[in-house]
A and B are shown apart, each in its own frame.
Chain A
Amino acid sequence: MRGKAYRGLRDGQLVELVAQKDAGALEALYDRYGRAAYSLARRILTEETLAQDVVQEVFLSLWRDARRFDAGRGTVATYLLSMTHHRAVDVVRREENLRRWRTSDEGLELAPDPKARVEDEVEASERRSEVRAALAELPAAQREALLLAYFGGYTQREVAALVGVPLGTVKTRMAAGMRKMREALQDAGREEQHPWTRR
């Protein structure tokens, strides 16, 4: 089937189609979120084949479990990307020698996106600007704790040791940082964002 295909469908509709074993719908979701998932996995794992494995597992997991996807628990983007994060962190914990990125800010320099070719990538680069801006607004200590956990895969105890503060302080900083991020990103209205609809 060619034609209009899946472009005008919302993420939730695509998941419903995936639940019916529609491969084109899974591919459409991969077109929307595969790059973001891979970029995240690469940043955490640094190693290419491990990152590829994680992304494949995430989308295959959706393929298998789409029937049980509960839109009330969050968006499809959240599902795919937070699962990517969890799996990547699991892998990096197993593969200790991967944990080379001790500095939380490495790799997060603002570089212009190489090629925002299509509408999805334009949206991704806008989301990137927004998230980076929200991160920049955090107090440095909160941002540091957050990023060491998020991209470094460190546990709270490890962060405490790295930074040289008590565990309780790390817990507080992480909680405050995440709370601030949630507020900063809330009015972006991250429900199934696609900039156009067909009426």
Chain B
Amino acid sequence: MDTPMSHSEFEELAAGYVLGALEPDDEHVFQQHMGGCPVCEANVRELEAVVGELAYAAPPVDPPDTVWAGIRREIRPEAAPRRAAIPAAPGAPSGTGGRRRRLLQALAAVAAVVLVVALSLWNLNLRDQNVVYRDRVAALERATQLANDPTAALVKLDDQPGTTGAQATVIASSRQDRGVLLVQNLPPLQRNRVYELWGVPGGDIAKAEKALVFVPLRRQGTQALQFEVPIQPGTAFAITEEPAPDGSDKPTGAPVLVGAPRSA
């Protein structure tokens, strides 16, 4: 180069650089410069994010199964053995352990019957690799476990006026402070909204505690979701709409679905 570049010329090159569109000499000069310039490095980082996002402008095409199969084949020799448990997501409280009594009380028996009927209707394909189905299996395993818990309560949530056909049932253990939400036919949400499940001690909405944030499935079927929240024998449950992505700390709207345990 005969004349040195001004910094604004370098800044202009950043776009071409991240797009891979620079001529070789421009690319070389820019790379040399970037090595010592935090401003241009930061600029490139931000523009790389745009390059990544522009991928979504391409018409979507499903990759054939052979793509993942090929990757899996390559990594298999180095892959670690399957883990027994995965690290908890941050903020997820660890469960209250303890031995579970195995005696079936009347309520637990009812819950078990409900689950058997529900399972037979869901037509699960356990060989499906899809993560949605894996989650559902896990939630059902949790629900079955809860059916053996004498402190588990079955709480049917009724839909409020204006919600067409939404149905939900909560199976909740006051001893474990954890439960499973079974929900279907929730209306779809706008992109900036989520559903939130609340544990409502004694039915007092002012004391509502966040149990779970989720979005409805787009297709038919029942969603099964695990959650953890403090639960007492009189705890009611409610589902409201809240802002994405993390919901709210207290309910900000009228419940879409709400239910209380039958006289505790």
Count of CB-CB pairs between chains A and B under 8 Å: 269
Contact with A along B84-126 (1 / 0, CB 8 A): 1111010110000000000000000000000000000000000
| Extra pairs beyond A6-B86, A27-B72, A199-B210 (16, CB < 8 Å) | A1-B83, A2-B137, A3-B141, A20-B80, A60-B71, A63-B74, A74-B45, A78-B53, A85-B20, A107-B59, A128-B56, A150-B54, A156-B16, A179-B15, A195-B244, A198-B213
Q: Across the interface, do B67 and A34 meet the contact criterion of CB distance under 8 Å? A: yes
Q: Across the interface, do B23 and A157 meet the contact criterion of CB distance under 8 Å? A: yes
**CB of A193 closer than 8 Å to a CB of B:** yes
**CB of A103 closer than 8 Å to a CB of B:** no
**CB of B227 closer than 8 Å to a CB of A:** yes
Q: Across the interface, do B132 and A119 meet the contact criterion of CB distance under 8 Å? A: yes
- The CA-CA distance from A2 to B82 in the complex, in Å, is 9
Number of A residues, CB within 8 Å of B? 102
Chain B residue nearest to A114 in the complex (CB): B60
With A85-B20, A196-B213 already in contact, the answer to whether A5 and B57 are too (CB < 8 A) is no
B31-69 interface (Cβ within 8 A of A): 45-64, 66-68
The 6 nearest A-B residue pairs measured at CB: A78-B52, A38-B63, A43-B58, A23-B79, A81-B52, A178-B15
**CB of B152 closer than 8 Å to a CB of A:** no
**CB of A135 closer than 8 Å to a CB of B:** yes
Contact of B21 among A84, A127, A159 (CB under 8 A): A159
How many whole Å from A137's CB to the nearest CB in chain B? 13
How many whole Å from B203's CB to the nearest CB in chain A? 21
- Taking CB atoms, residues of chain A closer than 8 Å to B68 are 27, 30, 34
